[in-house]
Amino acid sequence: MKSYNLLEAKEIIKSFYNVNQINIVEERYTLFLKGIHGIGKTSIVRQVGKELSKELNKDITVHVIRLSQYEDISQLTGKPTCFLKMRNKDGDEIEVSEKYIDIYHKLDYEPIIGSEEMKYTIPDIIKNIKEGDILFFDDYGRQLQHFNNSIMEIINEGKYLSWDLPKGVVTILSGNPDEDGNYQVIESDEAQKDRSEIMNIVFDSKIWILYAEKENIEDIYISFIYNNENLFSYIYNDEKDIETSIKKHSPRKWTKLFKFLSILYGKDYRANIDNIYKYGYLFVGEQISELISYMSDSYSNVCTSKDLLDLTKSETEIDKLIDESIKIHQTVKSYISFRLINYIFANKENLFVNSKKEYSEELSNRVIYILKNKNFEKDIKTNFILSIAKDKDFKDIYSKYKEIVT
C-alpha cells in the first residue's frame, strides 16, 4: 500500500483544495488522512490552512470537529424545527422558526397559512464557517455509529438536508488505522470508503528533523532521532510474549519531551542526566533509557550546523570541527550534510541580510568551504547541491557546483 510523508501530504491537500475551488459545482473531493496517533495529521492540515491563506491572499480558517467528543447528532446536523413564512401589511415576507412567531407578530407580521415546513437549523459548529474554509473531521472512525450517514451526506453533497455549507468549503477526514486492531475505531464499509480518497500517512524522521530545526529543539535530541529512526514505531505487538512487549510512544510525546527539556536545560544536558531521566519517564516511560544511553555516547558530540556557520570561527577551526566529528564514525559525514541542509532551510529568513532576501557573501563562501572539505565524498556533495537547487534563493551556492564537486 502506498504511503505518504507529511510534506507529500501537504502538497496533495493543497491540490485537493485548489481543485475543489475550481470544480465547485460538479464534484466534491475529500481526503481521508489515515495514520497512527501523534504523527502530525491535524497539525499538517492547520499548516496548510495558514500557507494557503498567504499563497492565495485570503483568510482560510481550519475548523476542527473532533467526532469522538460528540454524542448528540444534532450537534452536527442541527435540530429539526418547524419554519413558516410571515407577511406584514406592506407585503414583505420573512421565514422564521416557530419560536420567533410571537416576536414577529408584535411587529405586525401574520403567519401565511400552509407555509409550514420542517427544516434543520444550522448547527453552531457550522455557523462560523465561511466561503473557502476547511472543515476538518478529526477522529473519524471514533464517532458514534448513527453519525455515519450524516457525515457522508456532508462530505459528499456539501450540505445536510435543509442547510448548505458555504461555497468552496473543503472537507477533510482524519483517523487511525482500522486494520491492525491497535485502535478502537469503527471499520469503514465500502460506501464510506467510496466517499473519500484514503491517504496513508507515515512518520518520516527527515521531515520531523526539519520541523525540529524550526522549533529550536536542541541538537542532541535532533541527532538522537536521526540515529534512531525506528523509535516512533508506536507499539511492539509481540503475540508470543505480549506482557514483555514494549509500548513505543508517538512522535507527539517525544516532541513534547524534547521541547520541555530544551526549555528547561538548553545545551546543559550532561549535568542534568538524572533529572532528564526523571522528567522523561513521565513522557515516554521506559523508552527514556534509550535517550539517556545516547547522551553518554560519543555520537552526541558531533559538531552542529550553527557551529559550522558561525562566521566568527576561522576556516582552520571549521576543519577541526569536521575532522573531530568524523573520527567518531564514518556515517557522521552524511549526518553533517543532512543537518546543514535542514538548518539552512529552517532558518533561511534569519540568514538573509536584507529585504531582497539575499545572503551575505561570507555565508555563501562558508557553505561552499564546508562542502569542499576533503572528508566529504562526491555523492554527499552532489546530494547537498541538488537539495539546495530546489530553492532559487541559494543560486550563489548552486552556481559553484563544479567547483565544489570536483
CATH 3.40.50.300 for the 3-71+129-201 domain, yes or no: yes
DSSP 128: T
pTM, entire model = 0.72
- Nine cell digits for residue 45: 492540515
State the span(s) of the chain assigned CATH 3.40.50.300.
3-71+129-201
**Alpha carbon distance 10, 44 (integer Å):** 6
Run means of pLDDT, 10 residues per run, the chain, 406 residues: 90 94 77 89 94 94 91 88 91 90 91 89 89 93 82 88 90 82 68 82 87 88 84 48 54 93 89 89 89 75 86 91 81 83 80 63 83 86 80 71 68
Answer for the pair 20, 162: CB distance below 8 angstroms, yes or no. no
Q: How far apart are CA 17 and CA 134, in angstroms?
A: 8
CA 394 to chain centre: 26
Q: Give the pLDDT of residue 290.
A: 87
Q: Which residues contact 196 (CB under 8 A, 6 or more apart)?
A: 30, 31, 32, 155, 173
Residue 216, phi-psi category: left (phi > 0), alpha (psi -120 to 50), beta (remainder): left
Report pLDDT for 300. Answer: 66
What is the secondary structure of 382-404 as a DSSP string? Answer: HHHHHHHTTSGGGHHHHTTHHHH
- Which residues face 119 on adjacent strands? 81
Residue 294, SS3 per DSSP: helix
C-alpha cell at 135: 472543515
pLDDT at position 352, please?
A: 61
